[in-house]
Amino acid sequence: MLTSEQLTHFKNQLVERQSELFTLMESEGEYSRRNQELSNYDNHPADMGTEMYDLEREQALSQHAEVELKEINEAMSAIEEGTYGICRRCGTDIPLERLEAIPTADQCLEHANNAGFVAYRPVEEDILTMDIHEHTNETQTGYDREDAWQDVGKYGSSDTPSDLGGNQDHDDYDEMYINSDENIGIVDDTEGIGTATFDGHPEE
């Protein structure tokens, strides 16, 4: 159980950090207002790279500051309620060393490590993951935009043989799409020998 002197000490730390965050957010807001332009029509996109980076960094810092302010407010409420310095999961006292390092801590070290990392990610990542290896599985190759274009290209396009280039011979215009000669269902030509007809074409 923390003494009144210790509670006052940590409360002062929280108030000081809260003031720093308010000052930081105000200064960042002034920067964004100072660097706005009415129109980017006459600017090359590369010229706006630094300004865009600074604005995105400012936005990220503001989001981090908002999260930290929320944690500070929760810690201040815990001081008023008499639950500050007590792990909200197991009810044991949080070590002073941990509170000195993280005054907003509301869990002991053991439960904080087991809590895992909660990322604030876009909602679309519930379906689309950041890991490229998870887009394919062990049983099926992913259907990508190249496959989509091939399916559409089979019905014809405005391309002519000269548009494709190279030394490609096409029997008819139904084959006038990218990689129309690639093997479907096999990786190497020798894999299709067992299922080929007498003239070398794969069985339908």
Confidence (pLDDT) at 140: 58
Tokens of 142: 């992913």
Average pLDDT over residues 107-128: 72
* Class of domain 4-123 as given by CATH: mainly alpha
Contacts of 68 (CB under 8 A, 6+ apart): 17, 21, 104
**What's the whole-number mean pLDDT along residues 77-99?**
91
- Per-domain boundaries in the chain: 4-123, 145-192
Question: Could you read off the pLDDT of 31-70 as tens digits, one per residue?
Answer: 555 556 666 666 777 777 777 788 888 888 888 999 999 9
pLDDT of residue 46: 73
In this prediction, residue 151 carries a pLDDT of 81
